[in-house]
Amino acid sequence: MKLSGKNALVTGSDQGIGQGIALRLAQEGADVVVNYRKNQEGADATCEQIRQMGRRTAAVQADVGVTADARRLVEEAIAALGSLDILVNNAGIEKNASFVDITEEDYHAVIAVTMSGAFFCTQSFARHRQDVKGGGRVINISSVHEELPFPHFTPYCMAKGGLKMMMRNLAIELAPLGITVNNVAPGAIETPINKKLLSDPKLLEPLLANIPLRRLGQPSDVAGVTAFLASADADYITAATIVVDGGLLWNYSEQ
C-alpha cells in the first residue's frame, strides 16, 4: 500500500469525486478525515467504508467557503488524526447562468467555495507542515475549465483558472518546505454535479460524441491519479496539472 502511515483530509468527500478519493486514499493505507457541508449521511457512509478497511477516520462539518470554517476544518482534522500529510482540495460548486444574469450572491458563492476555500485550507495546512517540518502534499481537484472556456459558467472557470495559478505559485513558494502542489483536472465525470446532463439524452449525446474515449469518467478515474500524486511515486512532481478527461480538452478533427 502506497500511503501507509499517512494522514489525509479530503474536502467535500460526502459524495461524488471527493468520496471516491477518500475511499481510494484509505484503500492505499491512509487515515482520512471526511468533510461535508450539509450531507452528514453521505459523510457517515464514507467514514463507515473507511473504518471497514481498518483505517482511522472522522467526519467534520465545515463550509469551506467561510474562511473561519476552512481553518477550523484543518485544525479539527489535525486533532482527529494527530497530524496531516495530504490535503485534497476537492469541494467545488457551479452555477449555470449567463454573464448578464448571474447574481452577485451566486458569483461570490462559486468563488468562495471553489477557489477561496482551497486557498485558506492550504494556508492552514502549510502552516501545520511548516511547524512539524515534514513536507506534504497538496492536490487540488480543478477541472478542464482551468483552461477551457465554458460559457454561462464564468465564475466557475475563473475559480478553476485561479486554482491553476495558485498551484503554480505555491509549488514554488512551498517547495522549500518539502510540500508538492499539483492539480488534477477532470473532464466530464459521472457525479451528482452533472445530474441535469445525465438525465437528458439531448445534452449527454453531443457531449459523449466530443469525448474521444466515448464515455464519461468515473470518480475512481480521478481518485487513482490523486492517490498517485499523494504517493512517493510522485515525489518529483510539482506544479503540474494532470488532465483526466478521456481526451476531451484537446479533441479536434476535420472530416
Positions that interact with ligand NAD (CB under 6 A): 11-12, 14-18, 35-37, 39, 63-65, 90-93, 113, 141, 143, 186, 188-189, 191-194
Grid cell listed for 197: 446532463
In the bound complex, what is the minimum distance in angstroms from residue 217's beta carbon to ligand NAD? 7
Provide, rounded to whole angstroms, the least separation between the CB of residue 182 and ligand NAD. 15
36 is annotated as an active-site residue: no
Is beta strand 86-89 parallel, antiparallel or unpaired with respect to 7-10?
parallel
Catalytic residue among 36, 107, 156, 236: 156
Task: Find the shortest distance in angstroms from Cβ 80 to ligand NAD.
Answer: 16
Residue 10 or residue 30: which is nearer to ligand NAD going by CB?
Answer: 10
Cell numbers at 124, concatenated:
492552514
Instruction: Transcribe 64-99 into DSSP letters.
Output: TTSHHHHHHHHHHHHHHHS--SEEEE---------T
**Residue with smaller CB distance to ligand NAD, 136 or 187:** 187
Query: Half-sphere exposure (CA, 13 Å, Cβ side) for 100?
Result: 0
**Cα 104 → chain centroid:** 25
Closer residue to ligand NAD (CB): 108 or 131: 108
Quote the CA–CA distance of 27 and 7 in Å, as a whole number: 13
Kindly state the smallest distance separating residue 24's Cβ from ligand NAD, in Å.
13
β-partners of residue 180 are: 137
Q: How far apart are CA 161 and CA 144, in angstroms?
A: 9
What sign has the CA pseudo-torsion 165, 171, 174, 180?
A: positive
Closer CB to ligand NAD, 100 or 209, in the complex: 209
The minimum distance between CB 216 and ligand NAD, in angstroms, equals 8
Residue number with CB closer to ligand NAD (39 or 130): 39
Pair 10, 35: CB distance under 8 Å? yes
Q: Are 204 and 114 in contact (CB under 8 A)?
A: no
Residues identified as active-site: 156
